[in-house]
Amino acid sequence: MAGTKTNNKDMYYPSKEIIEQANVQDYEKRYKYSIEQREKFWEKEAENLDWYETWQTVLDDSEKPFYKWFKGGKLNIVHNAIDRHLKTWRRNKLALIWEGEPGDLRTFSYHALNREVSKFSNILKSMGVKKGDTVTIYMPQIPELAFAMLACAKLGAAHSVVYGGFSVEALAERVFDARSKVLVTADGGYRRGKVNDLKGIVDEALKRSPTIESCIVVKRTGHEVYMESGRDFWYHDLIELPIACNGGCETEKTDAEDPLFILYTSGTTGKPKGLVHTHGGYAVYTSTTHRYVFDIKEEDRWWCAADPGWITGHSYIVYGPLINGATVMMYEGAPNYPYPNRWWKMIEKYGITILYTSPTAVRGLMRFGDEWPKRYDLSTLRLLGSVGEPINPEAWRWYYEVIGQKRCPIMDTWWQTETGGFMITPLPITPLKPGSATKPFFGNEIGIVDDQGKEVSTGEEGKLVIKAPWPGMARTIHGDPDRYVQTYWADYKKQGWYKAGDSARIDEDGYVWIIGRIDDVIKVSGYRLGTAEIESALVSHSVVSEAAAIGLPHKLKGNAIHAFVILKDGVQQSSQLGEELREHVKQEVGPIARPEDVTFVDSLPKTRSGKIMRRVLKARTLGEEVGDLSTLEQ
Ligand code: WT7
C-alpha cells in the first residue's frame, strides 16, 4: 500500500507494511517512559552491547556539564562493531560494499573487515601509536578510511578525521591542535573523473606540522607523489611486513569514557572546535538511534551517502551500522559522475534498501529530471533519510514521490557533530510533514526558548535547547574545556540546558521545524563553515585589509558564501583580483569554502566594539529591513 496524504494538513502517513515491521511500534508511550526513566531507558539499550565490565553508574552528573555515561564500564567500540560478530554467522556477512568512482568494486565480510583492521592496527602499533594518542586521518572515501578509524579505536587511540575536501591550512591547524605524531593519507582520490591530489596538500601541510613523525600513504590513484624518506611509508609495503600480520591484533579494553575520536567543526571563531566523543555512550547512542530510526534489519543494505570524514559518516557509515551488524554501502565519488544515473544504478545493482543523504544531494539530482531515476528498479528501497540542513518541501516531495515512489517514509534527522547522533527525528511509524524533523528521539527533552529561557508560544521562532544529557553527547572540546562550557552551556547556565545554535519553531501538533543557524556558521551544501575561517583566510592574503563573509540563499547549496573585502591602501580593485581571492580561500580552507563572489567595499558595518555585523550586511545585500541598529557604529 502506498503512503497516503491528507489534503488539509499536508501530512504523509506510513503504509501498513512499514508500520507492521517497524522496530518501534509506540512512540508516545515509550517517549514518556524514556523521559521519566531516562537512566533506565539507556541502561536497557546499553545491555545490547558487549561489555568487558559493567558500569557502576549510568549517568554521573557530579561535574556538570561534563557528564559521564556508563562510568566504570569497560568496552571497546570495535569489539562491538567487529569482534563479537565473528563468533556468529555474521562472520560471513558482508560488512562493507564499496564502489570507487571509476567503477571498481571491493567487498568485505565481517571476517575480512577484521583482518584489514587488525593489520592496520598492527602497523599503527609498530609506529608507536597507543592509548592516549591521536592519529590524524586525511583520506578519500575509500575502505582504508574506515579501516584506519577502526584500527585506532581498536588500540584505544583516538582518531581525528579531517575531511578530504579541506586544504592545507585547515589540515595543518587540525594536525597541530591534536598533536598527532602519525598521519594516515592516500596519494589521492577521484572526484568527477579527476584526481584530487591529497598527498600534495599533505606535503604542504606537513611543512607547518612539527608534530608529525610518520605518514602512512595508501595508493589509490597511482599518480606520482613525493615520498619523504624516513617519514612517508606506502601502506601496501607496510602490510607485507611481519609486524602487520602476526595473527590478528588484540582489542584494547578501554573505559566507557575513554576518547574514541576528535572531530573538528566550525564555530564562531577562526579556530575550529575539536569535539571529543567517547567509546561507551557514543556506541550506545549511535547503534540505538540507527536501529530505531532506520529500522535496521538483518537483510538490509544500508547506504549513508555522506563522507566518512564528517560526523554523519562516523556515526552512520562506520560505528552505528557496524555495531548493528549491518551491510554498509560506501561510494567514493560524485553522485552525477559520469552520468546523473550513478546513484540510481547503484541502488539497483546492490539492492539498497535504505538511502540516507542530504537535501543538497537531493536537489542536485532532482535538477536532472525524473528520467534518470525512472529507468532503474528502485523497488528495493524501503526507507529514505535526510540530514544536514532543512529540506525544502519541493525537494522532499521529489525524493518521496520519484525516488521513494510514495512507499518510503523520509527520516529527516536533526542532529549535530556535538550530539553524536539523531536528536529530533521521525521513526518509520511517524506521520510526516515535508520539511519538519518531527519530534525528539527517546530520552531527549527539547525546548524552543527566548534569551531568558522562557518557552516561546506555539508557532513562534525561538532558540533550540536540549534540556537533559544524552549518551551520545560530545564530552568536551579537545584542549579547551572552557570553550565547551562557554559555547554550549553558558547561555542557559541556570537551567543547565545545552544551546544548539539553531533557531526553530514547534507547531500545534508538536512538530519541530528547524529554521537555521543563529551563530556565525554558514551551512553550504550541508557543510558547516565558520564565517571567521573564511575571513581569516581572506585577510591572510597580502592585499586584504579587512573581510566579512555571509551566507545567502542558494537554490542548490542551501546557502552560498559571499565575501566583502576592504583592500589595503593603494591596491586596485579588479575582477581578476576578486577571482584570485576566491582561489586563495579555496587553497587555504578547501573547495567548499570558495566564495560565490567577492565584493570590494570601503567599509563594513560594525558595532561600537568593532564586531562586524554580518546580519546587517546580509539584510542590506538582500534588500531587507535591517532592524535595530542602535549598536551600529556608523
Ligand atoms: C547543523 C549541524 C548532523 C550531521 C550533519 C551536520 C543543521 C542538521 C538538520 C536537519 C535542519 C539540520 C543544523 C545543525 N542540520 N540536520 N535535519 N534539518 N537542519 O552536522 O556539521 O555538526 O551541523 O546542521 O543547523 O545545527 P554539523
Kindly report, residue by residue over 338-369, the tens digit of the pLDDT: 999 999 999 999 999 999 999 999 999 999 99
b/e per residue 119-141 (b: at least 16 CB within 10 A): bbbbbbbebebeeebbbbbbbbb
pLDDT at 309: 87
Q: What is the pLDDT of residue 2?
A: 41
Q: Rounded to an integer, what distance in angstroms lies between the CA atom of residue 436 and that of residue 392?
A: 9
Q: With helix as H, strand as E and coil as C, how does 117-149 read?
A: HHHHHHHHHHCCCCCCCEEEEECCCCHHHHHHH
> Is the minimum distance from the CB of 312 to ligand 1 under 6 angstroms?
yes
pLDDT on residue 291: 98
The closest-lying atom of ligand 1 relative to the alpha carbon of residue 424 is: 17
CA 500 to ligand 1: nearest atom: 26
Report how far ligand 1's centroid is from the alpha carbon of 417 (Å): 8
Question: Which cell is 551 given?
Answer: 551566507
pLDDT at 625: 75
> Is 149 within 8 Å of 261 (Cβ atoms)?
yes
Q: Is the peptide bond before 338 cis (omega within 30 degrees of 0)?
A: yes
Distance 525 CA to ligand 1 centre (A): 11
Average pLDDT over residues 474-502: 97
Task: Give residue-wise pLDDT tens across range 403-453.
Answer: 999 999 999 999 999 999 999 999 999 999 999 999 999 999 999 999 999
Of the residues 528, 557, 592, which should be mutated to test ligand 1's pocket, given the most ligand atoms within 8 Å of the CB?
528
Angle formed at CA 424 by CA 489 and CA 453, multiple of 5 degrees: 35
Contact 124, 152 (CB under 8 A): yes
Given phi > 0 = left and psi -120 to 50 = alpha, else beta, which region is 405?
Answer: left
- Joined grid coordinates for residue 345: 544504478
How many Å apart are CA 400 and CA 383, to the nearest integer? 10
Cell of 514: 528547524
What pLDDT does 520 receive? Answer: 84
User: Which of 163, 285, 514, 527 maximizes ligand 1 atoms within 8 Å of its Cβ, making it the mutation to test the pocket?
Assistant: 514
Q: Inter-axis angle of helices 575-588 and 531-539, to 10 degrees?
A: 120
Torsion 6-7-12-18 (CA) sign: positive
Please count the residues of the chain. 634
200, burial (CB in 10 Å: exposed 0-12, middle 13-18, buried 19+): middle
Contact 143, 332 (CB under 8 A): no
Atom of ligand 1 nearest to the CA of 517: 25
Burial-class residue 622 by CB neighbours within 10 Å (0-12, 13-18, 19+). exposed
> Ligand 1 within 6 A of 389 CB?
yes
Place of cell 568496552: 75
Biggest distance spanned by C-alpha atoms of the chain: 72
The atom of ligand 1 lying closest to the CA of 311 is 4
Cα 43 to middle of ligand 1, angstroms:
27
pLDDT in tens, 455-471: 999 999 999 999 999 99
Distance CA 376, CA 353 (A): 14
What mean pLDDT, rounded, does the chain reach? 94
Residues 524/359, Cβ–Cβ less than 8 Å: no
Cβ count within 10 A of residue 405: 15
Cα–Cα distance between 474 and 476 in angstroms, integer?
6
**Is the per-residue pLDDT at 606 higher than 90?**
no
Our mutation pick for probing the ligand 1 site, out of 389, 466, 559, 592, counting the most ligand atoms within 8 A of Cβ, is 389
DSSP 169-222: HHHHHHHHHHT-SEEEEES-EEETTEEE-HHHHHHHHHHT-TT--EEEEE-SS-
Selected residue with higher pLDDT from 634 and 317: 317
The one-letter code for the residue type at 247 is G
Residue 39 · residue 278 · CB < 8 Å = no
pTM of the model as a whole: 0.94
- 415 CA closest ligand 1 atom index: 3
Ligand 1 centroid to 600 CA: how many Å?
31
Evaluate whether 296 touches 316 at the Cβ level (below 8 Å): no
Report the pLDDT averaged over residues 475-504: 97
Q: Is the CB of 307 under 6 A from ligand 1?
A: no
Spatial contact of 365 and 394, defined as CB atoms under 8 Å apart: no
255, 56 contact by CB (below 8 A): no
Q: What is the CA radius of gyration of the chain?
A: 24
Q: How high is the pLDDT of residue 1?
A: 35
Q: Which residue has the cell 587540525?
A: 174
Ligand 1, atom 1, lies closest to the CA of: 416
Segment 226-245, tens digit of pLDDT: 999 999 999 999 999 998 98
Nearest protein CA to atom 17 of ligand 1, as residue: 414
Alpha-carbon 110 to chain mean position = 24
- Omega before 65 within 30 of 0, i.e. cis: yes
Beta carbon of 264 within 6 Å of any ligand 1 atom = no
Give, for ligand 1, the residue of 166, 289, 315, 414 to mutate: max count of ligand atoms closer than 8 Å to Cβ.
Answer: 414
Position 156 pLDDT exceeds 50: yes
User: Do you find a cis peptide bond into 393, omega within 30 degrees of 0?
Assistant: no
CA 211 to ligand 1 center in whole angstroms: 32
The answer, yes or no, to whether any atom of ligand 1 lies below 6 A from the CB of 413, is yes
- CA–centroid distance, 491 to ligand 1, in Å, is 20
234, 301, 313: which is closest to 97 by C-alpha? 301
Q: How many angstroms does the Cα of residue 560 sit away from the middle of ligand 1?
A: 16
Confidence of residue 266 (pLDDT cuts 50, 70, 90): confident
For residue 193, name the pLDDT band (cuts at 50, 70, 90): very high
Cell of 571: 591596491
| pLDDT at 630 (0 to 100) | 57
Q: Which of 8-17, 331-340, 384-393, 483-492 has the lowest mean pLDDT?
A: 8-17
Instruction: Give 6's pLDDT tier (boundaries 50, 70, 90).
Output: very low
Closest CA to 319 of 359, 281, 274: 281
381: Cβ below 6 Å to ligand 1?
no
For 163, phi then psi, to 5°, come to: -50, 130
For residue 358, the CA-to-ligand 1 centroid distance in Å is 10
**What is the model's pLDDT at position 8?**
42
CA 134, CA 114: separation in Å to the nearest integer?
Answer: 21
| pLDDT tier, 57 (very low <50, low <70, confident <90, very high otherwise) | very high
Q: For 310-325, what is the mean pLDDT?
A: 98
Instruction: Round to whole Å and give the CA distance between 564 and 545.
Output: 11
| Mean pLDDT, range 129-148, rounded to an integer | 97
Predicted pLDDT of residue 609: 75
Residue 8 main-chain phi, psi, to 5 deg: -70, -35
**pLDDT over 90 percentage in the chain:** 88
415 CB less than 6 Å from ligand 1?
yes
The answer, yes or no, to whether any atom of ligand 1 lies below 6 A from the CB of 259, is no
Cα separation, 626 vs 632, in Å, equals 11
Between CA 277 and CA 77 the distance in angstroms is 12
Sign of the dihedral through C-alpha 300, 303, 304, 309? positive
What is the CA(352)–ligand 1 centre distance, in A? 24
The answer to whether the CB of 412 is under 6 A from ligand 1 is yes
By the 8 A CB rule, do 524 and 560 touch?
Answer: yes
- Residue 309 in contact with ligand 1 by CB distance below 6 A: no
Give the separation between CA 10 and CA 400, rounded to whole angstroms. Answer: 13
